[in-house]
Amino acid sequence: FGGQTAINLADSLVRHGVKILGTSLEDIDRAEDRHEFEAMLKKLDIPQPQGETATTVEEALVIAQKIGYPVLVRPSYVLGGRAMEIVHSDDELKIYMATAVQEISHDAPILVDKYIVGKELEIDAIADGEDVYIPGVMEHIERAGVHSGDSISVYPTQTISQKTKETIIDYGTRIGKGFHFVGLYNIQFIVDRDENVYVLEVNPRSSRTVPFLSKITGVPMSYIATQAILGNSIRKQGLTPGYHPEEKGRVFVKAPVFSFAKLRSVDTVLGPEMKSTGEALGSDVNLEKALYKALVASGIQIPMHGNVLMTIANEDKQEALQLAKRFANIGYGIYATKGTADLFEKEGLYVHRASKIEEGEKNNVVDIIRNGRVNFVINTMSSKENTRADGFLIRRVSAENNISCMTSLDTANALIKVLESLSFSAISMNEMGK
């Protein structure tokens, strides 16, 4: 129940003669040790992204070249995605190995995995050593690569097929039984464009989504898991193993809460390392209304009219263009830096041009944010960008001036959905008034 800290303490506690309730140390290690974990998933016929462990820089380079960039690199036994990064080249990998990791050894190797672009989902489940009970499947708004704790999470799932959902439930059940889990466990999945389901991570412990899932499903997960740990099986507790049926006609959204204004040196860009300090819950009859409530509860102001500043990496410009058109359609003004503005204007959008910081002009991005001329900032970062350059300053100044800065286009897409639904509601009410 103590998250990753509890997992890291288990071995020492057992060596000191302390009895560990629930999942045994051997089964914890099978889930946490890379080689044992891979062997178990193969035995259970469950796919995972291709990857290996490395104990030297040379080994890491060989693995990355073999499976192909981009790769996700991280130390084993980490908390909150700490020191986890997506790297796109040999040079980036060498820098990561030299700077992000203090000590690499056979006891603490580096995991190098193929980074799959796709939709991330997760489950929290309860096992009693024989049966498994799954209260729900949650879908993340942000695509894989953003830490699950920093993602906006939605229940029930909105965009995956019933077949994909059944595969997730099947894999989750097989893992609970195969690893002999007793108590709570959490699994993160990724679904690629062809609807192939891969297991990203299995945690033989509680996770931060347990309170969220318990609240929205009415399933007292901690109580049931405690009873299971003490020998009172799922069936003895009067529950039917398997998937808990969803409540119809209600959507629940968990939005992360950040404290970037108080943590002055932290870069606000979202990635595999967790940065949120809390979360808020929104619930309503559809996704847009639930999203609106969750975002407002998390501290984001959502005015129906205003301006948005967009400074976008080259690889994201086409996707951002569609978002800009939607912002313009609901009456939002668009501010953009040169490269982004050039594309938007070519596509017929009216854009307020914002100069970059190094161009030395007064109408630069930082001035625009500080003077409160925009309500939102969308800033995506190229894989080659130096985070201490313009992008870092834009993100920090936004945080310190209480202006929401989105570094994932998926988050921006969720916001524009909310704004579109608010605009539509306002238009509908005006028409009714007439």
Tens digit of each residue's pLDDT (9 = 90 or more) over 322-360: 999 999 999 999 999 989 999 999 999 999 999 887 666
Are residues 60 and 184 both part of a single domain? no
Range of the structural domain that residue 181 is part of: 1-48+117-247
Provide CB contacts within 8 A for 354, sequence distance 6+.
309, 311, 335, 336, 337, 341, 363, 364, 365, 368
Residue that terminates a domain, selected from 70, 89, 115: 115
Are residues 130 and 25 both part of a single domain? yes
The larger pLDDT score, comparing residue 384 to residue 16, is at: 16
| pLDDT (average), residues 111-133 | 92
Return the pLDDT at 388: 45
Provide CB contacts within 8 A for 404, sequence distance 6+.
300, 301, 375, 376, 377, 398, 415
pLDDT score of 219 more than 70: yes
Return the pLDDT at 360: 63
Structure token digits, residue 3: 């998250």
Are residues 93 and 182 both part of a single domain? no
| pLDDT (average), residues 40-53 | 92
252 part of a folded domain: no
Are residues 228 and 369 both part of a single domain? no
Question: What DSSP line would sit under 236-280, residue for residue?
Answer: TTT--SEEPPPPTT-EEEEEEE--TTTSTT-----SSS----EEE
Return the pLDDT at 272: 60
Return the pLDDT at 93: 87
432 part of a folded domain: no
Categorize the per-residue pLDDT at 76 as very low, low, confident or very high, splitting at 50, 70 and 90. Answer: low
Instruction: Give me the CATH number covering residue 63.
Output: 3.30.1490.20
Q: Report the distance separating Cα 412 and Cα 393, nearest Å.
A: 20
Are residues 379 and 328 both part of a single domain? yes
Categorize the per-residue pLDDT at 106 as very low, low, confident or very high, splitting at 50, 70 and 90. Answer: low
Return the pLDDT at 417: 93
Q: Note the maximum CA span of the chain.
A: 76
Return the pLDDT at 149: 74
The larger pLDDT score, comparing residue 361 to residue 104, is at: 361
Percentage of the chain modeled with pLDDT above 90: 53
Are residues 34 and 172 both part of a single domain? yes
Residue that terminates a domain, selected from 62, 83, 115: 115
Return the pLDDT at 342: 95
Categorize the per-residue pLDDT at 261 as very low, low, confident or very high, splitting at 50, 70 and 90. Answer: low
- Name the least confident of 4-13, 50-59, 231-240, 342-351: 50-59
Number of domains in the chain: 3
pLDDT score of 147 more than 80: no
| pLDDT (average), residues 168-193 | 96
pLDDT score of 267 more than 70: no
| pLDDT (average), residues 221-247 | 95
Are residues 182 and 36 both part of a single domain? yes
Instruction: Give me the CATH number covering residue 310.
Output: 3.40.50.1380
Quote the mean pLDDT of the chain.
Answer: 86
pTM above 0.85, yes or no: no
Query: Which of 56-60, 113-117, 295-299, 382-386 holds the top average pLDDT?
Result: 295-299
Categorize the per-residue pLDDT at 393 as very low, low, confident or very high, splitting at 50, 70 and 90. Answer: confident
Return the pLDDT at 34: 76
| pLDDT (average), residues 42-48 | 95
30 part of a folded domain: yes
Instruction: Give me the CATH number covering residue 215.
Output: 3.30.470.20
135 part of a folded domain: yes
pLDDT score of 44 more than 50: yes
Question: What DSSP line would sit under 320-348, residue for residue?
Answer: HHHHHHHHHHTT-EEEE-HHHHHHHHHTT
430 part of a folded domain: no
pLDDT score of 427 more than 50: no
